[in-house]
Structure 1
Amino acid sequence: MNDILPILLSILAALVVLGGLIPVLMKTRKNITRYPGTRDANDPVLPRGGSTAVEDRPGSVADRTAPDGADLEGLEATEVPDNAAGLEVIPVETPLPVAGRLVRLRERLVRSNNVMGKGLLALLSSDKIDENVWDEVEETLLLADLGTEPTMQLVDALRERVKVLGTRTPEQVKLLLREELIKLVDPTMDRTLNVQRHADRPAVMMVVGVNGVGKTTTVGKLARVLVAEDKDVLLGAADTFRAAAAEQLATWGQRVGVPTVKSDIDGADPASVAYEAVKAGIDQEVDVVMIDTAGRLQNKVGLMDELRKVKRVVEKLAEVDEVLLVLDATTGQNGLNQARVFSEVVNITGIVLTKLDGTAKGGIVVAIQKTLGVPVKLIGLGEGADDLAPFEVEGFVDALLN
C-alpha cells in the first residue's frame, strides 16, 4: 500500500496540471481559424457562371506562393464563411443606372449648396463694384471652404475680367463666374475610376478614411454603381475591429448579388482578410475587388502603419489600382489634414466626398484637389442606397450657380 500511494499522488498531480492546461490549449486553438481544405457549394466565392465545382484551397496564407514571402510572415490565417451567414435573406435589387442618379443628385445639390453661388452673383451684379465688394466676395469664398490660395486666384481672375469688360449684365456676370469656377475645379483632371479588369487579374480598389465618414456605406453604394455598369464585383471586409462591420458590408453586397470575403473572428488580421479577398478575386476571375478598411485617426502612427501593411500585403498578389479616400464634406478644412496624411501613407488616387448636402460648403472640392493634386471622383448627397455618383465638374458648378 505504501508503494502504491506515491504513484496515486503522482497521477493525481498530473491530472491537476493537465486539467489546467486543457482550457488554455482549447482557448488558443479557438483563436486559430484556417481555411477548409476544399471549397464547397456554400462558399460565397464561386467560379464565374455560378458553378459549384469543388476546388482545393491551401490550408494557410504561408502555404501560398508570393514574391518576398517574408512580408506575409505573421499573418493570421482567416476564415471565409458563407457570405450571407446570419443575415436575413433579402431579394437581389437592381441598382439605378448611373445617368439617372446624376440628374437626381444634381437637383439635390441645387437645393442644398447654392448659397455660395447666389452670394457671389449678387455681389458681382452690384451697380458699383469697389474694394468693399471684392472684400465680401473674398469672404464668401473663404466661408465656402475654398481655401486661401484658390480664393485669391479666383478673385484676381474676376477682378481682371470685370475691369476689361466694363459694363455688365447679370447674364455676363454669371457667365464670367461660371467660366472661372470651372477652371478652378479643373476639368482636366482624370476622374475615371480604375476598375477595368486586367488580362490575368481583377482591378483592386482600397477604400480608406477616418472613423465615421461612411467608408463601409460608400463601398456598398459603389458596388451598386459598378453592378449597374455590369461589373463582376467581390467585396473584402478588412474592417475587422468595428463590431458588425463585416455583416454590414455583406448585407450591402447581398442586396445586389455581390459576394463578400470576411472573417467571423473579431480583431482578425485585416491584412490577411484583404489578401484572401484578392486571392479569391483572382481565383474566380472577377472584374473588381473592393477592400473596405477600418477607420483610423490620421495621427495614430500604429494604425497608419497597419494600413500601409494592408496595401503592401495585397500587392504581393496584385497591384492596387485605386485607393479612394472617403471624406466627410461637412468637416471642411479639417478634412485637409486627414487627406495629407493618408496620401503619404497609401498614395491616394481619388477622393469620395460624402454628405455634400446640408451644411457642407462646395468650395471644399477645390481645396482638397489643390492640396493633394488628386481629383474628387465621387460625391454622395444623401442616405439612399443610390445616392452616390461620379463627380462632374460642369454639373457641379452649374448647381452652385443655379
Structure 2
Amino acid sequence: MDIKAAMKEKAEAARAASQQLGILPTGIKNQALLAMADALEKRAALILSANEQDLEEARQKGLRRSYLDRLMLNETRIANMAEGLRQTAALPDPVCQGDYSTIRPNGLEIRRVRVPIGVIGIIYEARPNVTADAAGLCLKSGNAVILRGGSEAIRSNTAISSLLSKAAYKAGIPEGALQFVEFTDREAVDVMTHLSGLLDVIIPRGGAGLIHHIVEHSSVPVIQTGTGVCHTFVDDSADQDMAVRIAVNAKTSHPSVCNAMETLLVHENIANVFLPRVSQALREKKVELRGCDRSRAICPEMKAAEEEDWSAEYGDLILSVRVVHDLDEAIAHINRYNTGHSETIVTENLAHAHRFQREVDAAAVYVNASTRFTDGFEFGFGAEIGISTQKLHARGPMGLSELTSTKYLIYGEGQIRE
C-alpha cells in the first residue's frame, strides 16, 4: 500500500467535500449529528467488542493502568459520546454568524462573519471518544475532517468512524467529509503533516511527545492542545472541608485526563491541620503522595518529591504536594511549572481570588471549584476538539466557534479609492 498516495487521495476527497459542506444548511447538519448519535447507541455492542480487542492487546503489552483507562469504553462512555453529538446539534450554527459591522464615512458597509476553516486534520492517541467528538464538531462547523487515531485504538476507532460516516452521508453530508486513517504506520502521520494546500490546520491531541513532534515537523499550521500540569492552591482562608472535596475530585475522579490535578499547594498557616486531613482522604483513594521537605515533616508517609515532580504530568494516581509561604509563592510556583491549562484556588478571601485569576497564566483559572470542569461538554460546547493552551486563534476548550475563521463582506454603491 502506497501510504503517501492514499493519504493524498483522502485529503483531496476531504477538500472537495469541504466546499459543499461549508454551505450546507444547518438543518441537514443537525439531522446528520442526530443520526450519528443514534448509530453509536444502536450499535454499541459492535463498538464494545472492538474496544475489548484493543484493550486485550494493550494489556498484553503491559501498558499502564491510566493508559488502559483512556482506551476503555463502556455503555456509559458511548452514551456520553452520543449525548455530545446531540448537544452539538442543539447549539447555534456558527457559520455565517456576524460579530462585527460598521459603515465607513465613504458609505461602505463592512460586515464580519464566521466561516469554516476548511479541512481539519486531527491526530490523537488512546481515547476513542475523540473520534465522535471531533467528527461532530467539525461537521457542525462546516469543516471536513481527517481523523488519525493511535494504533492502540485502531479497532475501536474503525468501528466508530464507520458508523459515524455511514450515518452522516445517509443524512446528506457530502461524501468524503469524514475521513478516518486506517494506517497505523507512523508514515501516515508524517505524510499528513505535509499536506499543505489540502489540509488547513492540524490539531494534535495526546501526550507531550506527540504534540512536540507535530509542532516541530508539520508544514501545515498547528493548533496545540497542550499537556496539563494543573494545580490546586489551598489558601489559609479556605473552607477546609470544601478544599478536601475539591482536591480529591481534581486528582481521583479521572486521573488520566489533562484537567486532573498534578500538584497540590498548601498555605503554611494551615498546613499542620489541613495536610493530614487531605493526605488521609487521598491515600484512601490509593493516591501516591510526593511531598516537599515541609510537607513530609508534617506527613512523613509521603515520598520525597524531586525537582522533576513539579513539572510532571503523571496521568495517574500520583500527586506532588508543596507547602508555600503565601499567595505570592503559590502564583510564582504555578507560573513557573504549569502548562497553561487549568489552575484553581480554594479561598474565602475575595481579594486573593481576584489576584489569583488575574496573575495566573492559564487557559482556565478557577475559584473554589475543581479543575476537572475544563471540558467542552461541561462548558456547554457540546463537546470539544481539545483544550488549547496556546494564545493564538483559540485558548481553552475548543468548541464550534473556535473551529471557524472569519470573512469580511463589504457592500458599496460604486465607491472607488482615490
- Could you say which TM-score interval applies, normalised by the shorter chain? 0.3 to 0.5
Higher relative contact order (CA 8 A, sep 6+): 1
Relative to the length of structure 1, the TM-score reads 0.32
**Higher CA-based Rg:** 1
Answer 1 or 2: which has greater strand percent: 2
What is the TM-score normalised by the length of structure 2? 0.31
